[in-house]
Chain A
């Protein structure tokens, strides 16, 4: 055993677990990277640490600084843990209709929460944070959607770890949020083996909370555009809330307690396994189930859970 000098050293090096018993194709193995094992409970600890240390290195962030970031949950929670450990103040702009546990986790680590209208979803939080950043130039605006440290955390961390533990990987499947995981891990794995295929899974965004008045209000993260995300991906698939919850429960049935987006990603991995004759599919389970207990996702009637998903942001 190693003795660690502080909690931040626990970020990364998460376990990769064989879950082939859930594969619909006996010739296709599926392995899952359990990012819920990070100390802040999600994959976003990685980018939070990279963005903060990057800002420290280039002199933008120093003692007494206040950090600002829009987040529907996990990035904010990762930043809150690190900001507390490093003694920075933190403002998180978050849609008011995220699950209750997210707010509580931010409060536990002393972050200041700025509510954005729930009806405007994640896009609304991004717009509000951009406005606050403009009005308060003294804030250090990390901006995960446009910060190269986000995909770099995955190119230097998550990707090499998957390749180290499972060099025979042929397909990589992950959720598309900021696109940081897909860009970073996808480009790393393709640099090792150009035949690796990268599948983006779009978890369902509740239609009532997409926050768009017109199509021109749409949003594509700058890191996706700058890294030619369209060319990197080989497939992009949407998964319905019902299918996500069904797969979330199957994941739990083999003893893995993952967050709701992992249900969507697993549904995508199963479709991927069905579409190929043989191979090894690596998936990222972005977080654990703890922050979603109040949603009843594992125990309530599935129709109820699916109905609720229309007005709550789970991802």
Chain B
């Protein structure tokens, strides 16, 4: 099944300038593995070598932060949108 990953400006340089990428996968882990296969420079950017999310990165599936879903095991459905955003302050 196909899902879309939307990349923040500062990660696009690692994905040949693409702002969004369409990939196949039934879980978030699978999709991130394929993202790195396609764009090796993305390795270590969103997910650290230890396998956790980068401290200042938030990942959302259909607008919901996956830390409160099933993290990397979050199941995906056809047409889901994955959004990656850097952590910023408000106030």
In whole angstroms, what is the CA distance A219 to B88 when docked? Answer: 5
Of all chain B residues, the one with the shortest Cβ separation from A122 is B89
B68 touches A122 (CB 8 A): no
Residues of A within 8 A of B60 (CB): 237-238
User: For the complex, is A233 an interface residue (Cβ under 8 Å from B)?
Assistant: yes
Given A145-B91, A178-B91, A212-B10, residue A218 in contact with residue B67 (CB < 8 A): no
Dominant secondary structure of chain B at its interface with chain A: mixed
Interface residues on B, range: 20 to 34
Of all chain B residues, the one with the shortest Cβ separation from A214 is B10
Residues of B within 8 A of A151 (CB): none
Residues of B within 8 A of A278 (CB): none
Number of contacting residues on A, CB 8 A?
39
CB distance from A87 to the nearest CB of B (A): 25
Given A235-B64, A235-B68, A237-B65, residue A216 in contact with residue B91 (CB < 8 A): no
CB distance from B3 to the nearest CB of A (A): 17
Residues of A within 8 A of B55 (CB): 218, 220
CB < 8 Å neighbour of B56 from A121, A175, A215? A215
In whole angstroms, what is the CA distance A210 to B57 when docked? Answer: 13
Given A207-B8, A215-B54, A219-B56, residue A122 in contact with residue B88 (CB < 8 A): yes
A221 touches B89 (CB 8 A): yes
In whole angstroms, what is the CA distance A218 to B53 when docked? Answer: 13
User: For the complex, is B51 an interface residue (Cβ under 8 Å from A)?
Assistant: no
Contacting residues of chain B (44-72) with chain A, CB-CB under 8 angstroms = 45, 54-58, 60, 63-65, 67-68
Q: List 23 A-B contacts (CB under 8 A).
A: A72-B91, A121-B88, A121-B89, A145-B91, A176-B90, A177-B91, A207-B9, A212-B86, A213-B10, A214-B10, A215-B56, A215-B57, A217-B86, A218-B56, A219-B56, A220-B56, A221-B89, A235-B64, A236-B58, A236-B64, A237-B60, A238-B83, A315-B90
Chain B interface residues (CB < 8 Å from chain A): 8-11, 45, 54-58, 60, 63-65, 67-68, 83, 85-91
